[in-house]
Structure 1
Amino acid sequence: MIDRLEKEVDMLERHLQVLRMVIENEPIGIVKMSNETGYPHHKVRYSLRVLEEENLIEPSSQGAITTDHTAEFVEDLDEKLDDTVEKLRDMRIESAPEAEN
């Protein structure tokens, strides 16, 4: 169960790293992103597809570029991440108190 969560977090981290690269270097292509991040081309391509489906980037003839929705997403990101971290903290199961002798 936790393994799936860890994989999802890793994938989200990759998507956000790819988005950050687009924001900082637009337009930017798959090969450059793959070379700079060390992610294989197919993983960068998948992240770009996810970001495009979320309307955060769009393709251009020179590479990926941001959209009008990117800035708003970035502004809200920290708060959403903080909320998620708090939810995860609330899920903790404290260890049972040791029996007193």
Structure 2
Amino acid sequence: MIDRLEKEVDMLERHLQVLKMVIESEPIGIVKMSNETGYPHHKVRYSLRVLEEENLIEPSSQGAITTERTQEFVDELDDKLDEIVNKLESMKIEEAAEVEN
């Protein structure tokens, strides 16, 4: 169960790193992103597809570029991540176990 969560977090980290590269270097292609991040081409391609499905990037003839929605997503990202961290913190069992002892 936790292994699956870790894999999801790793994938989210990759998606966000790819998005950051697009924001900083648009237009940017798969080969350059793969070379700079060390991620294999197929993983970069998958992240780009996910980001495109979320309307955060779009393809161009020179490479991936941001969309009108990108800045709004970035502006909300920290708050959303904080909410997730708080939820995970509240799930810790060791704190509950200490109270019972």
Question: Does TM, normalized by the shorter one, top 0.5?
Answer: yes
Q: Which runs of 5+ in 1 are unaligned?
A: none
> How far does the alpha carbon of each residue in 1:37-61 deviate from its partner, in whole angstroms, 9 at most, with x for none?
0000000000000000000000000
1:30 and 1:89 map into 2 onto residues whose CA distance is: 36
Sequence identity percentage: 83
1:80 and 1:4 map into 2 onto residues whose CA distance is: 20
Q: Answer 1 or 2: which has greater helix percent.
A: 2
**Match in the other structure for 1:8:** 8
1:8 and 1:2 map into 2 onto residues whose CA distance is: 10
**Match in the other structure for 1:54:** 54
Q: Which runs of 5+ in 2 are unaligned?
A: none
Compute the TM-score of the two structures, normalised by the length of structure 2: 0.94
**Match in the other structure for 2:28:** 28
> How far does the alpha carbon of each residue in 1:6-40 deviate from its partner, in whole angstroms, 9 at most, with x for none?
00000000000000000000000000000000000
Q: Which runs of 4+ in 1 moved over 6 A?
A: none
1:55 and 1:94 map into 2 onto residues whose CA distance is: 40
Q: Decide which structure has the larger Cα Rg and report it.
A: 1
RMSD, aligned CA: 1.2
**Match in the other structure for 2:78:** 78
2:16 and 2:66 map into 1 onto residues whose CA distance is: 13
Compute the TM-score of the two structures, normalised by the length of structure 1: 0.94
User: Is structure 2 residue 48 aligned with structure 1 residue 42?
Assistant: no
Q: How many residues get paired?
A: 98
* Secondary structure of residue in 2 paired with 1:94: helix
